[in-house]
Structure 1
């Protein structure tokens, strides 16, 4: 990172996109689909036990986010009430971006990013966003399978993460997708977004979406707490 006077000059890709959403909500599918269209992800995971195509997370970002949450007494499944970045976290973030100074559009995906996003907005004011959400019951079922989380805990996490997504949307007005839709509709909406995201790979083949990995679905809202139900309905209203 070079210096101009006393102010650091940030070295970063020309455009950086954060893919935001709650765990088990389609963030991997969205990120992989955007990668098909030309989004650069750096060194990302291409396989894990719960997603044979990989969660498309760059471990450098995950490690930073885990460290920030831990420094605030929390974790991905125990969100802190307030999150404060320390100076070392800002330097860490700048160094990660400096290692990704490539041509084109660079993106990162980690559900934890929703919990620490204010720090990223300070590091990179030009940061762009695209979000995704999913029916609370589908997320509850998936988290029970992956992490053995109790229903009340999973619903509380769904609400915390998606409330952060909603609040950020109201400030920034970025595209938000719903992962409850069918494959064709989802793919069509991703394709319609790629030009505005600066992704211009011509005649790309969308190969990431895999119906076999989408094992859970949500239907009724009637058994959900009112605040969860209302937040889901608000997100549906603004989704593309």
Structure 2
């Protein structure tokens, strides 16, 4: 199958916003996430559903700029520095590595997905690579900001004030990308609505399926609710 016939789902959202649950549900519907996923942890026992090589690549790239995932950076930071000649080698190296990972391990199926909250900040560099791998749908996961802050503070044993700085910066990057990119297909998922029952996950998956075509698997409501612990 050619790249033009494949469909890719880019899951975007802040750490602790529900992106793992949403991406895990995609896998339940038969969406391919790659061959080397990060192992589940105590804070995410059902899994992170992140490709380990992509996460390492994002971390290594930011390390080259002396930036950690939790440090705030301006929304146009990557775009601005990548225009400088001295960073051209770093930019090309990142995109080449990402392209190899995608073509060998992720975008090998008719419907694939990538999730790493770091991508919320990396999209200016990563999106051109993703666009080469198939028609894209951007799945944006939203959650009450205070709940994200509290969850992040608990996981990293930091103050809520420190967590708020991280969350605000990630949300700024997310909104900047969405508002300044020519996006044809986007689906917003309200994770709080899933938890409250206001919107069922099945409804959002049906909306996504209308953009993608038929999913490879159709899990039962019982399987979905068991995975999401909604019942």
TM bucket (normalised to shorter chain) is 0.7 to 0.9
Q: Secondary structure at the match of 2:50?
A: coil
Count of residues paired in the alignment: 203
Q: State TM-score, norm by structure 1.
A: 0.76
CA shift for structure 1 position 13: 8.6
In structure 1, what is the equivalent of residue 219 of structure 2? 204
Give unmatched runs, 5+ long, in structure 1: 1-9, 213-240
Q: Check conservation: 2:142, 2:190, Cα contact below 8 A.
A: yes
Hey, which bits of structure 1, 4+ residues long, moved more than 4 A?
A: 10-13
Q: Secondary structure at the match of 2:212?
A: coil
CA shift for structure 1 position 12: 9.6
Give the number of the structure whose residues are more often helix, by fraction: 2
Residue 67 in structure 1 maps to residue 72 in structure 2: no
Residue 176 in structure 1 maps to residue 184 in structure 2: no
Q: Tell me, in whole angstroms, the C-alpha distance in 2 between the residues paired with 1:152 and 1:16.
A: 36
Work out which of the residue numbers 32, 38, 48 in structure 1 matches 2:24. Answer: 32
Q: Tell me, in whole angstroms, the C-alpha distance in 2 between the residues paired with 1:169 and 1:70.
A: 25
Q: Tell me, in whole angstroms, the C-alpha distance in 1 between the residues paired with 2:163 and 2:213.
A: 35
Give unmatched runs, 5+ long, in structure 2: 83-89
Q: Secondary structure at the match of 2:109?
A: coil
CA shift for structure 1 position 102: 2.1
Q: Secondary structure at the match of 1:23?
A: coil
Residue 112 in structure 1 maps to residue 118 in structure 2: yes
Cα gap change, 1:191 to 1:41, in 2 (>3 Å):
same
RMSD value, Cα = 2.4
